[in-house]
Amino acid sequence: GDSVTQMEGPVTLSEEAFLTINCTYTATGYPSLFWYVQYPGEGLQLLLKATKADDKGSNKGFEATYRKETTSFHLEKGSVQVSDSAVYFCALADSWGKLQFGAGTQVVVTP
């Protein structure tokens, strides 16, 4: 079945550092891909999405490109802030429209 694999955390960075969180997927067909963010004590918020190959999703300085050839959707941000500390989930919408999530990656940004 469809699945998502993302790098394990926690990832600890200093403010203004470059962030990359790797995400790869296995799916039949052409799923839509998402990154969600969960701030401490809160639910999930959609960060960005891409619906077809080579699409780039972007929001709040974060970017991810849908790479069909490598089945990847890596999340990047050029300069992180303390407020970016959160858990980040990569997800795909399978052929039935259900979201399948990766295990989540905790990111800790220190001043």
Partner 1 sequence: SQTIHQWPATLVQPVGSPLSLECTVEGTSNPNLYWYRQAAGRGLQLLFYSVGIGQISSEVPQNLSASRPQDRQFILSSKKLLLSDSGFYLCAWNQKNYGYTFGSGTRLTVV
Can you give the binding site for partner 1, defined by CB under 8 A?
A: 34, 36, 42-46, 49, 89, 97-104
Which residue's entry shows tokens 């990154």? 35
Find the shortest distance in angstroms from Cβ 101 to partner 1.
4
CA gap 107, 94 in Å, rounded: 26
C-alpha–C-alpha distance, residues 24 and 99, integer Å: 15
Residue number with CB closer to partner 1 (17 or 100): 100
Min CB(43)–partner 1 separation in Å: 4
Residue 4 or residue 80: which is nearer to partner 1 going by CB?
4
Q: Measure the CA–CA gap between 65 and 110, rounded to whole angstroms.
A: 27
Least distance in Å: CB of 36 to partner 1?
8
How far apart are alpha carbons 27 and 38 in whole angstroms?
A: 24
